[in-house]
Structure 1
Amino acid sequence: MDAVSDTVERAAKLTGQLLAFARRQALKPEVFEVGGRLRGVADMLDTVTGSRIRVVTELPDMPCHVLADVSQFETALINMAVNARDAMDGEGTLTLRLSCLTGMPPIRGHGGSAQPFAAVSLTDTGSGIAPDRIGRIFEPFFTTKEVGKGTGLGLSQVFGFAKQSGGDVDVESTPGHGTTFTLYLPEVEAEGQQPRDDGEDNHSSAGGGRRVLVVEDNVEVGRFATQILQDLGYETDWAANAEEALARLGGDGAGFDVVFSDVVMPGMGGLRLAKELRRRLPHLPVVLASGYSDVLAQEGSSGFALLHKPYAADQFGRTLNRIIQHHRRPMAVE
C-alpha cells in the first residue's frame, strides 16, 4: 500500500508539472507581498540545497505585490533553487534578489513590457549552461542530469507558471561562471486581505453527522468518495450529475451542509452547478474536485474551494469541515 501511495503521489506531481508547462493548471491567484514570501522560502532552502551552499537574500526596502498562486510561486522558487544546487555540485553561493517596479525585457524573441514587474532572480556560482543547451532548458523532460537524478520538469513548471501568471522567466549564463534565472510577475496594488488560511490542520476531519451531497458521474469515484465520507462520520447522498443534484437540493438545500462536486461531468458540469447554487442557495457551500479541467485552467475556480485529485482521506475531510465552518461564522452586526 505504501508503494502504491508513493507511485500515485509521483504520478500526480508529474501530471501537475506537465499541466504547469502547458499553462493548463488550475491556479488560485491572490495578492501577496513578494519580499515576505521570498524571505520565507530562503529560510527553508538549507534543507533543499544542503549546508555547503550559502543562501544570500537581497530585498528592497519598498513592498512589492503581485497577483499569483502562492503555492506555485514557492514551488517555482524551489525548482530553480534545486537546479542551482545541482549546477554547483552542492557547494557555492545562491543569491535570491528581488527588484520592484522594473520593466520586463524582450525574452526569447517575445516583446518586452514597460509595465511594472516584480523581478525575482536566483544567481548561482555553478558550472553554467552551454550555449547550445540554454535554448532547451525549459522543454519538458530535457535534462542534463544522470538517469534517475531528475525528470527535466522543474524548469518547465517555472516557465508555465510564469506565462500563466502574465509574466515570463529569463536565463543568463556563462559556462564556468554561474547562471541567473529571473522570474517576472506583473505588479499590482496592495489590497486589504484576510489572513491566508494555510491551516487546514486546525480543523478536524471528523464529519460529526454533517450531510454531504456528492455529485459525481463516475460510479467508482462516487463510491470511493462516499465511503471516505462515511468513514469520517459524514452522512452522504449521491447524485450522478448536476441536474440530478439540483433536483435533490430543491429550493431550500434539503438539509445538506455542503455539496462536493466533480468539475468535469456530462451536461451542466461542476463549475456551472456551483455558480447556480451560489445564486439559488448562497448559504450552501460548494467544494469542487478535479484532476484537470480546461474550464478551471481558463476561468479559475471562481472563488470556490478546490480539491485536487488525487486527494487523501484526511485532506478531503479537513477541506469539507473548513468550508462548512467558514460558512457558519456569524455575520458582524453594526
Structure 2
Amino acid sequence: MVAQNILKDADIRADICPDLSQLVQELASGADLGLVTEEALRGDTRALMSWVSTQPAWSDLPFVVLTEHGGGLERNPSAVRLMQALGNVTFLERPFHATTLISVAQTNLRGRRRQYEWRRLNEELESRVQERTGELAAANRVLLAQIEEREKVEITLRQMQRLEAVGQLTSGVAHDFNNLLTVVLGNVEVLESAMERAGVDAKLTKRLGYMRNAAERGARLTSQLLAFSRRQRLEPKACDLNEIVSNMQDLLQSTIGGSIRIDTRLEPSLSSAMVDPTQLELAVLNLAINARDAMGVGGTLSVATANVTLRAPARPEEPPAGHYVSICVSDTGSGMSEEVRQKVFEPFFTTKDIGKGSGLGLSQVLGFAQQSGGGVRISSRLGRGTSVFIYLPQTQAHPRTTRRSARVGAASDAAGREHILLVDDDAGVREVTATILRGLGYTVYEAGSGGAALESLQSHPQIDLVLIDFAMPGMSGADVVRRLRATHPRLPTVFITGFADRTALADVSETHIIGKPFHPDELAGKVRAALSSVEMGHSAQ
C-alpha cells in the first residue's frame, strides 16, 4: 500500500495483486511495469516465468524487485536467478526513499514506452516493406510480361524479316523464270504454227505440246512464287464470297474426287469483301488440294464463310485487328504437329513425298491474303484435321456479278500493218516476240535498252506503238515512257512485265499491260486493242 500511494502521488497508477497468478493476469492485460517483492517470488513462479518467456520479440517488460535489507546481488544468491529469469529487472532494497521509487518507476516506464514506439516503427517498417515488396512483385510481373511480349515481337519480327527476304529473292527468281518461259512458250507456239502449215507429222507436234504443257506448269509455279512475295497485280473488287464458294462447288468436287464429301456452311448475312475473285478461287483451290492429300480416300472437306472481328494478331501471318470476312477450309485428315505448323507458310516447305508437292500452296495463300489487306490463321492437331482461315477486309460497297472476259480472239483476227517498236533487254524474249509480231504482219523495230529505244524513235518517226519491258537495267520502261510523253504524247504504249513489277503499274490500265509468259493470241489482242484505242480517238475528233 505504501508503494501504491507513493506512485499515486507521482500520477502513476498502480494496482495491487494478492498473488503471482493475479500479477500474470494484469501483465497479460497490458501492465507496463511489474513491481514485486522478493518474498512473493519465493513461491511457484512457473506461470510468471512462462509469460515472460513468451513475450513478443519487441517486448521486454521491466520488473522492479523489492528486496529485503542487505539483499543486494552481492549478498543474495537468489537475485542472480531472478535476474536471469525476469530479464529486464531492477533491484530496489527496502527500506527505500519515495523519490528513489518514483525515479526507478519512471525510468522503467520510459523504457517501456520506447518499446511501444519501436514496435510501432517496426510495424510501419514491416508494412512499408510488405507494400514495397508487393509493388516490386507487381513491377516484376509487368517486367516479365514485357520481356515475354518483347520476345514474341522479336520472334515475329525475325520471321517477318526472313519471309520478306525470301520474298524478295523469290520475286527476282520468278521474274527471270518468266523471261525464260516466255522464250520457251513463244518458240513452241511459233514452231507449232510453222509445223501445222508445213503439214509435219502429228507425232512431232505432239512433242511440242508436251513442251508447252511443261512450260505452262512452270508459269503456274512462278505465279505462286509471286503470290507469296506479294508482288502480283491484284484487281480487288467488292465480292460476295458466298457466291464465289457456290460457283466453285463443281470445280472443288472434281479436284478432290468423289470419295470426299463437301460440306458448305455459308453465312446468310455475309458482308461483302474487297478481293480479287480469281486469286481467291486459286487460294481456295490450293487449300482444297492440301486437304485432299491430307485425307487420302474418304473424309469431309468443309468450306464455311463468316463475319468476324479480330483482335491484335498473335502470329505474323494473322491480320491486324479489325472487321473481316472469313473463308474457312477444313478437313478431317491427319492434321499436323506444332513443329510443322510453325513452318507451313515458308515457301518450298512440304511434308509430301518428293514430286508430290512444290511447297508453294500455303505460301501463295498467305501472300495473296496479306496483299489483299488481310491474313491467314491455321488451326491443326495431329489426328484431328486442319482448318485454314482466310481473312479478307470487309467493304460497304455492293458486289457486282463477275463476268469473265472473253478470250482474246485468234492472232489472225488481230493482225495489222502498223510499225511497232519492241524494247526488251532480254535478247531471247525480244527475238521470239518480234517473230510473233512479224508473223502477224507488223513491222518491228527492236531495241535492247531504254537509250536505244529513244534513238530508234528519232530514227523511225513512223512508229505507231511501243511495246516495252517494264523492268530493265539502267533506264526502265517507265522512264522511257515518261520521256516519250513529252515528245510523243499520243503514242500508245503496252508494258511487258514479269508480274514482279506489276504493283508498280497499279495506275496503268490492264489493257496496256501484258504479263510474261504470254500466248501469241494474248499478245496480238493487246497490241490490236492499244492501236484501236488510238484510231477510235482520232475518229472521234
2:313–2:321 Cα contact (<8 Å) kept = no
1:31–1:191 Cα contact (<8 Å) kept = no
Deviations 1:282-312 (A, max 9, x none): 654432222254x434x34422433222223
Deviations 1:117-138 (A, max 9, x none): 2211111122222233111111
Deviations 1:153-200 (A, max 9, x none): 111111122222222111112322321100112223427979755323
Relative distance call for 1:130 and 1:195 in structure 2 (3 A) is closer
> 1:285, 1:63 → 2: CA distance?
43
2:494–2:527 Cα contact (<8 Å) kept = yes
Task: Identify the residue that residue 238 of structure 2 maps to in structure 1.
Answer: 32
The match for 2:429 among 202, 221, 226 is: 221
Pair 1:307-2:514 in alignment: yes
Which amino acid is 2:428 matched to? E
> 1:197, 1:321 → 2: CA distance?
20
Which amino acid is 2:502 matched to? L
> 1:275, 1:66 → 2: CA distance?
35
Deviation at 1:244, TM superposition (A): 4.3
> 2:428, 2:302 → 1: CA distance?
49
Secondary structure of 2:430's counterpart equals helix
2:318–2:377 Cα contact (<8 Å) kept = no
Relative distance call for 1:286 and 1:109 in structure 2 (3 A) is closer
Deviation at 1:78, TM superposition (A): 0.8
> 2:493, 2:253 → 1: CA distance?
39
Task: Identify the residue that residue 438 of structure 2 maps to in structure 1.
Answer: 230
Alignment of 1:1-334 (within 5 A): 1-23=208-230, 25-35=231-241, 36-62=243-269, 64-100=271-307, 102-103=309-310, 106-108=313-315, 113-190=320-397, 198-202=405-409, 206-246=414-454, 248-249=456-457, 254=462, 256=464, 258-274=465-481, 283-291=490-498, 293=500, 295-297=501-503, 299-304=504-509, 305-325=512-532
> 1:47, 1:139 → 2: CA distance?
28
Relative distance call for 1:259 and 1:37 in structure 2 (3 A) is farther
Q: More deviation in 45-54 or 198-207?
A: 198-207
Which amino acid is 1:32 matched to? A
> 2:531, 2:340 → 1: CA distance?
51
Which amino acid is 2:407 matched to? E
Identity %: 34
Moved >6 Å (runs of 4+): 191-195
TM-score, normalized by length of structure 2? Answer: 0.54
TM-score, normalized by length of structure 1? Answer: 0.83
Deviation at 1:143, TM superposition (A): 1.5
RCO higher in structure (CA 8 A, sep ≥6):
1
> 1:58, 1:199 → 2: CA distance?
32
Which amino acid is 1:33 matched to? C
Relative distance call for 1:81 and 1:275 in structure 2 (3 A) is farther
Q: More deviation in 88-97 or 270-279?
A: 270-279
- Larger strand proportion of the pair: 1
Secondary structure of 2:248's counterpart equals helix
Secondary structure of 1:32's counterpart equals strand
Which amino acid is 2:234 matched to? K
Relative distance call for 1:174 and 1:219 in structure 2 (3 A) is closer
Q: More deviation in 203-212 or 94-103?
A: 203-212
* Number of equivalences: 327
Relative distance call for 1:46 and 1:314 in structure 2 (3 A) is same
Relative distance call for 1:204 and 1:218 in structure 2 (3 A) is closer
Relative distance call for 1:303 and 1:97 in structure 2 (3 A) is farther
> 1:53, 1:127 → 2: CA distance?
14
> 1:323, 1:196 → 2: CA distance?
22
Deviations 1:67-92 (A, max 9, x none): 44333222111110100111111422
Deviation at 1:246, TM superposition (A): 4.6
1:26–1:301 Cα contact (<8 Å) kept = no
Secondary structure of 2:363's counterpart equals helix
- Larger helix proportion of the pair: 2
Q: More deviation in 27-36 or 148-157?
A: 27-36
2:423–2:447 Cα contact (<8 Å) kept = yes
Relative distance call for 1:224 and 1:51 in structure 2 (3 A) is same
Q: More deviation in 49-58 or 149-158?
A: 49-58
Secondary structure of 1:144's counterpart equals coil
> 2:411, 2:263 → 1: CA distance?
39
Q: Unpaired segments of 5 or more residues in structure 2?
A: 1-207
Deviation at 1:110, TM superposition (A): 6.8
